[in-house]
Structure 1
Amino acid sequence: MSSALHAVPDMHPDTHEDTDDVTAPVHGLPRLHTAALHGPVGKAVRRIHPTTEAHPAGVLVQTLAMLGAMVGDGPHVMIGGSQHPARIWPLIIGPTGVGRKGESLAQAKKFVSSFNSFSSYFVEHCLASGLASGEGVVAHFADRTNPEDTQDRRLVVTEKEFARTLTASKRESSTLGPLLRTLWEEDSAQVMTRTDPLKASGVHLVVIGHITARELRMKLSGADVSGGTANRFLPIAVRQWQLLDDETQEPDLAGIAAELEPRLHRAHVAAPARYRRTEAAGAYWKQVYRVLCDSEVDGPLGEVLARAPAYVLRLALLYALIDGATAIHPEHIRAGLAIVKYAADTAKDVFGDLSGDSDLDKLSAGIRRAGPKGMTQTEVSALFGRNRSTEQINTLIAQLTEQGAAHMRIHKPARGRPTNVLVWNEQHHNDPITDLLTMGA
């Protein structure tokens, strides 16, 4: 028997795709729009879902990151004068233990490993863990003097202690941060601080980071995020999805793997090619791009979301490759937008709505995390370590209620006096991104 945080429906292989359980909201976390579960990878995540406690968003995005690395830098989209391959860097954010961050990674690896020769080589030679230094990364790829050297330049590095990477990146003498920022954007990098400079070219590096929300907030100030390493990553909130206290059957993924492998292999070995949008996708992208640009905000949240347009197109390209398509269609952009929307909501939960008033931002984030039960005035006071006066707290509460961001309701317990509770208004913000996702449905 399994006791579930979310009831798991009977997912027969022929009917499981129709369920919305995979995208049901987990308390305190954003909701993953069903558009993100497009195509074969979405089908795989739905089949994996009943067999694991891992959050579907974590399984999905880490799987996508690995599949993009399998393809490499050949297929690309153009944004301005820059080439963007199907390279995405997820930052999986969840509490220690119950976040099930490691489990979501394990499920992604298991699926990628279920392919045949193409993926078995990739899993054996192109997966690594730990980001020790910039020099170490470049040395792995360093250009060889032997012209017959055919070293694979694809690599997925998982850093399960990503807080250490952020700390190392902030050291004045560290080359790690600048190197990562370069390799997110380009396929070559060099380290010139040595007596024998290192250079690597033709590189396709994917980094998957794991961290808790508390660590991320502690490590990053506004200055740290601005122009820094963290804003190259897609923040993805996860936590334990369900309780499974018995063994479960292995999901049947063989058919999906057989469908995917030849598509990804063709994309990997083909000559570098620019992927263009269909006419319908071009019209849809214009609307998406306008909304993303209009949604820009200042501060850490804005810095984290600054690369949203690039990420939507990188993800759209990846979904197109997974479909075996020769162009990007509206559904591919919509799927990419759904993931970026989830990342944006994750960033809001981590960094708050960033009004410019740190206390107001902290209170906003606190009541959002509290969910439907809200927060009493005593709990609000505890949120600030009981270092704010009643007058200061009342002023903050008044600001949020006047803005329509929250409301007060009376909680009447079975025993004791009624209590005033501050509750976040989930529909407070008009969300044009959700409107765009609904448009394409």
Structure 2
Amino acid sequence: MKVLENRLDRFESMAYGPIGKAVRQAMPHTEGDPIGVLASTYAMLSSAFAGQVLLPGGTRPALAWTVLVGRSSTGGKGRAYRAASRIVDGAIGSYLGARTKTSIKNAPTLVRVFTQAIQESKSTEAGEDSRVFMLCTEWGSTLKFLNRDAQFSEHLRNAWDGSPISNTIKGKKAAEAEEEWIDHPLLGFHGHIQPGIWPSSIRQVNALGGDYNRMLPVAVEEWQELDELSGLNTDPDSLIKSSSELETAYEWVRKGAAKEMQYSDAAGREFIAARKAHKRIASEMSEQITCYFERAPENIARIACLLTATERKTTISVGAVRAARAFVEYSRDTVIELAQMPSLVARSNQPKSLEQKIRDAIGRNGSLTRTQLFSAMGNRHPQGEIEAAVENMPDIRRTEVRNGRPGPNPVLFDFAPQEPSEEERPEPAVKVVRQRVAKQAAAAAPAKKTAARKTAAKKTTAARKAAGAARAEPARKTAAKKTTAKKTTAKKTTAKQATAASTTGQGDVFN
């Protein structure tokens, strides 16, 4: 990222007070980005100070939510966070150990975590405590849940503002419902994400709604490599000393009533100048980009209050405002570059129209009944609105299926058959007319070949006649024999008859 080119020079203008001093002392012993160490320290300390350090006016907590944006290996996000943890360990180590939560993925879980923290703190000497530190080392995966859960997004915004959050749960009786209510949620936040994941994880609709401008993303990268041989056998982070000044500041913050910060006259003028500069820059950019840093002035005020509290003061100085402004402007430059990065996933953040949802549902299933269509819309649209939309869609066909049963017939929705356009219509077929063609006289064959064919034909005919005669001759002889036999039999019969007749006549004479 281009914003990384001069970050070490810009860090010098951010390092202020006990925090800046502690980060400078830790730098020789870590490969983590100095701005990343600073951002991590802001997030952890502001979470520990929450409820006891208030913005001018005394209504909002001075919470600073930071996000480290760096590549998976060379970004050194984890190294920067570990270095910051070593810096604040003596001051707030026990707080972080008890209140750091890493598995908050939805609104009910967030409310439940606050409820448990409050219940556990009631039995302590300090009394009720609603502080929670939300750590998302894989913020890209958390954003997937955030994008799907509108209530989760709303709860995070309210927690940053210090407004109440709630969640409805089942009561002791089945028909009753109870509401978990957190009056003063004090939520610290710190996250890590890769720049390549940012474009595909961030939703523009959520950005325009203000989900991300409460956070301060900063680009980070390893600033050195620890090549000393002694570092191979020891943990370099163990050489980082905890800040005694921050430990003293934490004790001062937690004692007594909440500390309401006030600007000195010079610091007030410095803050007004920073706010005007922000508005001028924002007016020259589109809302699609400015929506990521529109709360820059308030973030400047919050960090300035945090820096002032570490000095155990309640009057904000010019130096604190300038250091806070330098950090927030670096975050602004980071997020502008991120907002202009192309997404690796080709998708549209624009919500689909009802008509498009209907077409998609029918396209997935082929056809849908009325009940199935209403169910596919997820009950997000009234039935009358869905039916009216279908009536005005010429590409959707509505068919009433008769089933012979009492009651209304089921209705089936599918795509209407498309008529071919003028360009797609086939050209008329060409009519083919058959005509008789006079046969051409065959060419005269050579005389020898013709004679050979005739001779062969004569031989074939003679052979056939001979074969027929041979077959017919025995048949004629047999028939003649049969005829002769019949004649012989007839003669014998006649002779017998004649003999019988003569015999009969003689008998009559002697009698």
Q: TM-score range by the shorter chain?
A: 0.5 to 0.7
C-alpha change, 1:68 and 1:99, in structure 2 (3 Å) is same
C-alpha change, 1:262 and 1:204, in structure 2 (3 Å) is same
8 Å CA contact 1:36–1:339 kept in 2: the answer is: yes
C-alpha change, 1:146 and 1:136, in structure 2 (3 Å) is closer
8 Å CA contact 1:47–1:251 kept in 2: the answer is: no
Match of 1:303 among 274, 286, 291: 291
Q: What residue in structure 2 maps to residue 237 of structure 1?
A: 219
8 Å CA contact 2:114–2:132 kept in 1: the answer is: no
Structure 1 residue 353, shift from structure 2 partner: 9.7
Structure 1 residue 220, shift from structure 2 partner: 2.1
**Partner Cα separation in structure 2 for residue 249 and residue 138 of structure 1:** 35
Match of 1:133 among 82, 87, 106: 106
Structure 1 residue 348, shift from structure 2 partner: 1.9
TM-score of the superposed pair, with normalisation by structure 1: 0.67
**Partner Cα separation in structure 2 for residue 155 and residue 280 of structure 1:** 34
* Structure 2: runs of 5 or more not aligned: 171-176, 343-511
Q: What residue in structure 1 maps to residue 258 of structure 2?
A: 272
Q: Secondary structure at the match of 2:218?
A: strand
Identity %: 24
Q: What residue in structure 1 maps to residue 206 of structure 2?
A: 224
1:251-266 superposed matches below 5 A: 251=239, 253-254=241-242, 257-266=243-252
8 Å CA contact 1:69–1:204 kept in 2: the answer is: yes
Q: What residue in structure 1 maps to residue 68 of structure 2?
A: 92
Structure 1 residue 260, shift from structure 2 partner: 2.1
Q: What residue in structure 2 maps to residue 156 of structure 1?
A: 133
**Partner Cα separation in structure 1 for residue 159 and residue 212 of structure 2:** 13
Query: Does residue 1:121 correspond to 2:103, yes or no?
Result: no
Q: What residue in structure 2 maps to residue 108 of structure 1?
A: 84
**Partner Cα separation in structure 2 for residue 230 and residue 147 of structure 1:** 31
Q: What residue in structure 2 maps to residue 15 of structure 1?
A: none
**Partner Cα separation in structure 1 for residue 237 and residue 154 of structure 2:** 45
**Partner Cα separation in structure 2 for residue 147 and residue 216 of structure 1:** 37
Q: Secondary structure at the match of 1:242?
A: coil
**Partner Cα separation in structure 1 for residue 199 and residue 128 of structure 2:** 39
C-alpha change, 1:287 and 1:27, in structure 2 (3 Å) is closer
C-alpha change, 1:243 and 1:203, in structure 2 (3 Å) is same
C-alpha change, 1:169 and 1:26, in structure 2 (3 Å) is closer
Letter in 1 for 2:56: M
TM-score of the superposed pair, with normalisation by structure 2: 0.59
**Partner Cα separation in structure 2 for residue 123 and residue 305 of structure 1:** 28
Q: Which has the larger radius of gyration?
A: 2
Q: What residue in structure 1 maps to residue 10 of structure 2?
A: 32
C-alpha RMSD over aligned residues: 2.6
Q: What residue in structure 2 maps to residue 209 of structure 1?
A: 191
Number of matched pairs? 322
Q: Secondary structure at the match of 1:83?
A: coil
Q: Secondary structure at the match of 2:59?
A: strand
**Partner Cα separation in structure 2 for residue 316 and residue 294 of structure 1:** 21
Match of 1:323 among 305, 308, 311: 311
Deviations 1:140-174 (A, max 9, x none): 11286899553432121111111122211121x55
**Partner Cα separation in structure 2 for residue 124 and residue 54 of structure 1:** 22
Letter in 1 for 2:25: R
Q: What residue in structure 2 maps to residue 391 of structure 1?
A: none
Deviations 1:82-112 (A, max 9, x none): 8332201101111111111111111111211
Query: Does residue 1:47 correspond to 2:47, yes or no?
Result: no
C-alpha change, 1:250 and 1:165, in structure 2 (3 Å) is closer
Letter in 2 for 1:107: A
C-alpha change, 1:26 and 1:242, in structure 2 (3 Å) is farther
**Partner Cα separation in structure 2 for residue 229 and residue 241 of structure 1:** 31
8 Å CA contact 2:43–2:65 kept in 1: the answer is: yes
8 Å CA contact 2:47–2:131 kept in 1: the answer is: yes
Q: Secondary structure at the match of 2:134?
A: strand
8 Å CA contact 1:65–1:89 kept in 2: the answer is: yes
Query: Does residue 1:332 correspond to 2:320, yes or no?
Result: yes
